Structure 1
Amino acid sequence: MTFFVSSQPGADRSIETLHLKADGLLPNNPKLPAVLYMGALQDKPEKAEQIFNSNGWLNSWVNGVFSYHHYHSNAHEVLGVMSGSASLQLGGDSGRTVQVSAGDVLVLPAGTAHKRLTATQDFRVAGAYPGGADYNTRRATSDDLAAALPEIAMVPLPENDPIYGQAGPLLKAWETD
């Protein structure tokens, strides 16, 4: 599903939700979609980490994305592209490939597999976790899958959208019954 943000900073930027199914040894998230904010920080990509932190997404870092499938079963993650561009695979080999560039933001619910396929030399992302969660890193193994499934179910919903705070579209996209 794609929709547009019209009353937020970066108005009229598209937001896409990606529902990813389990892929063999990669669980993905059975309830929550990944959310891609295209160009949300287009005018200030270098401020991604600061914006995430100001909205309660902490324990942040700046680096790249691993070139192998991995996921975090105990925390949701936001990735904001600060510079360059990349092709990222979400959800495992049967998932989706997305092209991201400076200013794009990707929110991955707990369990969502991701890896870098290609990237420009200057590709950098800021990552952060709601409430500063201490995240784990799991890979495509049967042991990790067995441990991950109960952990994913216990991860609470974030209080704020990492870009727009309490009024952000992530909270709407992640509403559950």
Structure 2
Amino acid sequence: MNTPQPETLYVDSDETTGYPNSPLPVLIYRDVIDTPDPEARAATFEAIFKRHGWPPSWRYHLYDFDHFHSTAHEVLGIFRGQARARLGGPNGRELMLCVGDVLVLPAGVGHASLEADDDFCMVGAYPPGQNPAIERGDPAQLEAAKARVASVALPENDPVGGSLTSLWRQDA
């Protein structure tokens, strides 16, 4: 397993669409796993996340609608296919997610699949005690969503053993 330095992406709150996003950066780890078998990749992501205190919760695709979790941070490990995703809500930024990549989303960051391979699939996990409410932007509820996001505890560990703790703690 290779744990490269992550790309960081800052996503500001979007008043017009009601997406709180986060002052913490999204972390994008590229090519974390290069195992050729998709099932082995999924199992490896699950083992890595679990070892770093983020119990795996599911294997699934990325929803094709913009949404966010105001009550949990989320990690996504891509084990099959690729997708063009958007981060930050309807006015957000696009990026490609490929096999072996890991995306660490701070609570509040909007995300959606814009286009994906038919077999695109990820492992998802959350820090202990955090349960992800699925929410869609509502400008009338933005301040309440921001308050929920601000109250989500920072995780003790990076889900892949990288630099989340130093990057998020210095920004918090």
So what's the TM-score if we normalise by structure 2? 0.88
1:55 offset after TM fit, Å? 1.3
State whether residues 86 and 93 of structure 2, in contact with CA within 8 Å, keep that contact through their aligned partners in structure 1: yes
Between stretches 102-111 and 44-53, larger displacement belongs to: 44-53
SS in 1 for 2:144: helix
1:105-151 deviation per Cα after TM superposition (whole angstroms, max 9, x unaligned): 00000000000001001100011101142211110123543431111
Structure 2 letter corresponding to 1:171: T
Distance 1:102 1:135 in 2: 24
Cross-structure match for 1:156: 153
Per mean C-alpha deviation after superposition, the further-off stretch among 37-46 and 19-28 is: 37-46
For residues 31-46 of structure 1, what are the structure 2 equivalents within 5 Å? 31-43=23-35, 45-46=41-42
SS of the residue corresponding to residue 33 of structure 1 reads: strand
Distance 1:105 1:59 in 2: 13
Task: Return closer, same or farther for 1:141/1:42 CA change in 2, 3 Å cut-off.
Answer: same
TM, length-normalised to structure 1: 0.86
Higher relative contact order (CA 8 A, sep 6+): 2
- What RMSD in Å do the two structures reach over aligned CA positions? 1.7
Corresponding residue number in structure 1 for 2:117 = 120
Report how many residues are paired: 164
Structure 1: stretches of 5+ with no match in the other structure: 1-8
**Residue type of the alignment partner of 2:11:** L
Deviations, residues 54-110 of structure 1 (Å, cap 9, x unaligned): 211125111011111100001100000011100110012332111011100000000
- Give identity over the alignment, percent: 40
20, 24, 27: which one aligns with 1:27: 20
Q: Does residue 171 in structure 1 map to residue 155 in structure 2? A: no
Secondary structure of the structure 2 residue equivalent to 1:99: strand
Q: Which amino acid aligns with 1:119?
A: A
CA distance in 2, matches of 1:150, 1:26: 12
Residue segments in structure 2 that go unaligned for 5+ positions in a row = none
Q: Does 1:71 align with 2:68?
A: yes
- 2:41 aligned partner, one-letter code: P
